Amino acid sequence: MAERNIKLTIEYDGAAYAGWQMQSDTRTVQGEITEAVRKITGCDVNLIGAGRTDAGVHALGQVANFVIDHHLPPPKYREALNHYLDEDIVILQAEEVAPDFHARFSARHKRYRYLIGRQRSAINRHLRWVRERPLDTTRLRSAAEVVMGEHDFSPFCVTGSLKKDNLCTIEYSRWFDLGTMLVYEIRGNRFLHHMVRGLVGAMVNLATIEPDRNKHNLTLESFGDIIKNATAERVVFTAPATGLYLVSVGYDEGKA
């Protein structure tokens, strides 16, 4: 039987997991799905994710793929995997794709969302960042516009994860209100480790109406200087993982 390349679209609540990437001593999303594939087929597969979400980060449309030599029809993987997975991981779609499809390297853009709750919620406490201190939404929206375009985002990346090339092109960056929540949406061709959380943390810092006098507080001007000039010092205002979602991953038409 010929090998098949299976693409999965996945939704998960990351609260109970140490992130996407498999680890030997703790539960991860990649590890849970890989084990579920093994239970169904008896095969050990290399599950490739489009992005390595951190501990506590959620996904509405994570994409992954694996190559397998097995008789199970590709669409059946959705039902079979959901049978073995806990309810906080759901396979939304399973399909066969071209042999050269690679969930990470074939991706053309990713879209992330960050949720900030303006009031406490017992039910949604692990699904958003609760921030009851008032924020200047005009400053937030102005800062989001500064993010647009191609920039070196190394100040917003974990130092140990920096690459030779840290340029990212941001096609969409916007804050908007949704009931009692503030929502940030961003889409770009690539993202560095902790980049979205660093951007959100910095923007919240500069938009806080009643700043903490014991901390350095950014201005819109200083934020713009960091974005445009890529200062060597890392920005340390990192938003919590709990409010971040990988919304979708885009590919060339016909590629997947």
Q: List residues with catalytic annotation.
A: 54
Helix axes 76-84 and 29-41, enclosed angle (nearest 10): 110
Q: Closest Cα to residue 47, out of 37, 56, 55?
A: 37
Burial 6-35 (b: 16+ CB within 10 A, else e): bbbbbbbbbeebbbbebeeeeebbbbbbbb
Distance, CA of 132 to CA of 154 (rounded, Å): 29
Q: Closest Cα to residue 203, out of 179, 224, 188?
A: 224
Written as one letter, the residue type at 37 is: V
Q: Closest Cα to residue 14, out of 192, 248, 196, 244?
A: 244
At a CB cut-off of 8 Å and minimum separation 6, what does 180 contact? 117, 118, 119
Phi then psi dihedrals of residue 36, to 5 deg: -65, -40
Written as one letter, the residue type at 28 is: T
Q: Closest Cα to residue 45, out of 69, 27, 62?
A: 69
